[in-house]
Amino acid sequence: MRVLAYAERLLWTCGLLCAGYCLILVVQAKGTQRFADRIDQPVPTRIASSAAHTTEDVIGRIEIPALALSAPITADYDGSSLHRGVGHIPGTAVPGGLGTVGLAGHRDSFFRPLRRIAAKMEVRLIDKSGTYHYVVDSTEIVSPDKVEVLNIAARPELTLITCFPFDYVGAAPERFIVHAHLLSASPDGVSAIH
């Protein structure tokens, strides 16, 4: 009887610790999302300095209006970054830049809506310089070693990467890729120099 009571207490403790950890991840992700939602707006200096240590790696926000997707873009795609948003793949272009912008995200969190993406959908990348508009060209499913999906194309592009299949339990064997092209190199809100 004592063994069962001990096992029950142990299971309750483990459950509470897991719930607490999940709560911390949700609060952290929500804070990052709030910061990303204001990435293109001026921030008062005293607020910016107090929030800098937790948001310094947030470089922008991705939005796909047709899928109701809005997520922070972090400066890297390591485990910690992907818990708080979609990660920018180092070595790829920055939003609106020449080359291919590479973004990676978890299929069971921020990039879950990608299962419904289709050609001609609009993708917005927002950073401090403004909003860049991309249009989806195609999707494909590839093996994880097919890194050429990030190759530079003839025009500026965006490549979104997540694991596939979406409902797979555990480490997924394939990758779901979204290809989109940039509509204008000038972001919204930035006037051309005459």
Residue 96 pLDDT: 83
Task: Encode pLDDT of 138-193 as tens digits.
Answer: 999 999 999 999 998 889 999 999 999 999 988 899 999 999 999 987 887 544 33
Which single residue is written with the structure tokens 């997520």?
A: 71
Determine the Cα–Cα distance for residues 129 and 95; give it in Å rounded to an integer: 10
**Parallel/antiparallel/unpaired status of strands 100-104 and 122-127:** unpaired
Average pLDDT, the chain: 83
Determine the Cα–Cα distance for residues 128 and 60; give it in Å rounded to an integer: 7
The pLDDT of 4-33, averaged and rounded, is: 73
Determine the Cα–Cα distance for residues 165 and 174; give it in Å rounded to an integer: 7
Identify the structural domains of the chain with CATH numbers, from first to last. Answer: 35-182 (2.40.260.10)
The pLDDT of 53-79, averaged and rounded, is: 88
The amino acid occupying position 86 is V
Residue 31 pLDDT: 63
Which single residue is written with the structure tokens 């948003």?
A: 85
Which residue did the predictor score with more confidence, 45 or 128? 128
Contacts of 113 (CB under 8 A, 6+ apart): 64, 67, 68, 69
